[in-house]
């Protein structure tokens, strides 16, 4: 069994796929000799050279625009946005060009590009280095949004993304880069885009999450287990499209749902998941749908105590589980 951190699984799989497919190009700020601000691309420049690992200007708009041009002309770019917080200058290119090109060309063109973006808080990064940006992009048809939480899923979903004919936004929780370790097989395998995973089976209620919060949800489930509460934990893995079959199957079994994410509560992905459950599994519920999310403030505070107040954690999730289990 091979154990790796999240960032090791990411880096190794990019290298493996670049050896397999000579059309894969990496571009972004400092992705070359420096290996990126988080060292996610470390070693790629030395192995593949400046023609395939290209340092870009400090311009997210041009990183994505150039990537779209590459994808339309036979290449398969990996475009790194150094911090997800700075992806918004490229919003138009992602939403109106990359995501819609296949549709607007009546299937004549596709845009096979991967956009990597480290997101999330908990690292004392403050307002501009801690944001969760997924809800903005999950609203966009034509764009896959994935957020794996383990080394195994990172490897499998990265391969699936790099073999997809469509654009993929690949979200990587920066705090989990070196915090999370797990099995990462050396074999060539793919985790299908659009398929959730039950990380912990249970019978009493369902906890639905992704990214770093998935690990907090697992911790919370273990905290309440001695109290006789058996929580099932669902890892979404893909945020767009959502795996309705797995979500609804779990909720129909347990009759209760707690949805957890680090993003702001209002307009967050938890609201969409709650709507799906209410529309398609209402008669199975025997309690309200609970959400554990960040408060509606403009950003993650820099102050450590305030950051802890902002971030959902295992204690907050366990409290929500206990409250819902009491129904």
Position 134 scores a pLDDT of: 97
Position 299 scores a pLDDT of: 87
CATH 3.40.50.970 fits 3-183, yes or no: yes
The pTM for the full model equals 0.97
Position 1 scores a pLDDT of: 77
Q: What is the DSSP letter of 187?
A: S
- Say which residue the tokens 């957890």 belong to: 260
From-to residues of CATH 3.40.50.920 in the chain:
197-325
User: What CATH fold (topology level) applies to the domain 197-325?
Assistant: Rossmann fold (3.40.50)
- Residue by residue, pLDDT tens for the chain (327 residues) are 799 999 999 999 999 999 999 999 999 999 999 999 999 999 999 999 999 999 999 999 999 999 999 999 999 999 999 999 999 999 999 999 999 999 999 999 999 999 999 999 999 898 889 999 999 999 999 999 999 999 999 999 999 999 999 999 999 999 999 999 999 999 999 999 999 999 999 999 999 999 999 999 999 999 999 999 999 999 999 999 999 999 999 999 999 999 999 999 999 999 999 999 999 999 999 999 999 999 999 989 999 999 999 999 999 999 999 999 999
Say how far residue 100 (Cα) sits from the centre of its chain. 21
Task: List, edge to edge, every strand of the sheet that includes 53-55.
Answer: 53-55, 24-28, 76-80, 114-119, 168-173, 144-146, 238-240
Phi then psi dihedrals of residue 269, to 5 deg: -65, -25
C-alpha span between 281 and 291 (Å, rounded): 17
Instruction: Choose, from 129, 173, 215, 261, the residue flagged as catalytic.
Output: 129
From-to residues of CATH 3.40.50.970 in the chain:
3-183
C-alpha span between 88 and 56 (Å, rounded): 17
Position 127 scores a pLDDT of: 84
Position 126 scores a pLDDT of: 87
Residue 139 catalytic?
Answer: no
Position 60 scores a pLDDT of: 97
* Pairing assessment for the beta strands 144-146 and 238-240 based on DSSP bridges: antiparallel
End-to-end CA distance of the chain: 42
């Amino acid at each position: 069994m091979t154990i790796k951190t999240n960032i090791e699984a990411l880096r190794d799989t990019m290298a493996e796929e670049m050896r397999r497919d000579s059309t894969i190009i990496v571009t972004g700020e400092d992705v070359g000799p420096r290996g990126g601000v988080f060292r996610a691309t470390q070693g790629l420049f030395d192995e593949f050279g400046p023609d395939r690992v290209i340092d870009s200007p400090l311009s997210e708009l041009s990183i994505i625009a150039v990537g779209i041009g590459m994808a339309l002309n036979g290449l398969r770019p990996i475009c790194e946005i150094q911090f997800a917080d700075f992806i918004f200058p490229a919003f138009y290119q992602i939403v109106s060009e990359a995501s819609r090109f296949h549709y607007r060309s009546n299937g004549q063109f596709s845009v096979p590009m991967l956009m990597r973006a480290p997101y999330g808080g908990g690292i004392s990064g403050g307002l501009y280095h801690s944001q969760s940006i997924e809800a903005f992009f999950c609203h966009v048809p034509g764009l896959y949004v994935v957020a794996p939480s383990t080394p195994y899923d990172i490897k499998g979903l990265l391969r699936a993304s790099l073999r997809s004919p469509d654009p993929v936004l690949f979200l990587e929780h920066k705090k989990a880069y070196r915090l999370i370790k797990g099995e990462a097989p050396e074999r060539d395998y793919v985790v299908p885009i659009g398929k959730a995973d039950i990380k912990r089976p249970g019978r009493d209620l369902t906890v639905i999450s992704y990214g770093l919060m998935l690990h907090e949800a697992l911790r919370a489930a273990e905290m309440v287990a001695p109290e006789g509460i058996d929580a099932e934990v669902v890892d979404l893995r893909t945020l767009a499209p959502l795996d309705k079959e797995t979500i609804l199957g779990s909720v129909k079994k347990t009759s209760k749902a707690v949805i957890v994410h680090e993003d702001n509560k209002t307009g967050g992905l938890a609201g969409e998941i709650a709507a799906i459950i209410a529309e398609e599994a209402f008669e199975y519920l025997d309690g309200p749908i609970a959400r554990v999310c960040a408060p509606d403030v403009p950003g993650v505070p820099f102050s450590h105590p305030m950051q802890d107040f902002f971030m959902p954690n295992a204690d907050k999730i366990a409290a929500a589980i206990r409250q819902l289990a009491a129904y």
